[in-house]
Structure 1
Amino acid sequence: MDKTDFYNLNLKTPKGDTIRMDSFKNKVVLIVNTATKCGFAPQFKGLEELHQKYKDKGLVILGFPCNQFQNQEPETNDSIEEACEINFGVSFQLTEKVDVNGINTHPVFRYLKKELGGLFGKRIKWNFTKFLISKDGTPYKRYSSFTKPSVIEKDIIKILN
């Protein structure tokens, strides 16, 4: 795969509308697998702060809700956006619930795990694993669940400029 393959991928919103990744050309994209009942859920606040600070400068944050880790995402596609807004103030784009590992791995995560294997190889170890994509669609860096959004800010600034 080359970097343009990122732009051939799609995602679906919780309401089922398709968003094409090529709509994010020339933008920096931060992709995160999220879960509202996860111990890392307070990171929603930090992600939202990054979103508010850099959305007008070319940052797009995409939250992919995932229930593969101890059932920490009990919300449905119908309730996920409202729950994230009410509980965490989230206004960045969320997707439908997805799998990030296994046979039904979402194509975005299949691609990102191939490009940025990480400490645990091709697997996603837990919720709030983050992937930063440069403006030309190149996967730039993978961050663990423990990495707070504020730590990623320096890399976002670097590749936005």
Structure 2
Amino acid sequence: MVAEAMENKEVILEILPAGSSNGLAVDLGLMKTLDENVAIAFQGNYIKRDTIEIINKKCYHLSDLGLNAKLDKNYENSDLHSKWGYLLQALKTLIDLGDSFVATITVNNGTIKSEAIMIVIANSKKYGTGVTINPNGIMNDGRFELVIIKNLDLIILGKIISGYIPVSFRLMGNIMVL
């Protein structure tokens, strides 16, 4: 909300991370103590980063549909808010995977239709848990990548968690389909 209000202003916005997992702060290297983050704010360390608007909301890091969105909702509705709570909800979400959905994506003057269990609109590499979802993510390269995960088995899940994203092919530039 603050970032949206400052969008067309010549100001530097400092992020002071809070919560159990803050992916933007992880990618910026800000998962330190409050004192260290305040010191960083006054040392002239800053980057310009890209912004995309999704249904009238600004996105600076990662936005997703499907599996991870379901995991986030399960976590928010749970009583245990910690890394253990997140792990518990991840297991619950994976066990209760559910059906895939069909998405029609129009980008770069082309359209693809794909079945998916998760789609990530990514301006960065990692989730706050440290899991790499977009190895090509750079926050200020003028691009957002689109990661489409069509199915998820233990091998693909293991590769994602270990940081070895199995990109099988690319369509229309920055679309990765797993």
When normalised by structure 2's length, the TM-score is: 0.26
Give the number of the structure whose residues are more often helix, by fraction: 1
Where relative contact order (Cα < 8 A, 6+ residues apart) is larger, the structure is 1
Which structure is larger by alpha-carbon Rg, 1 or 2? 2
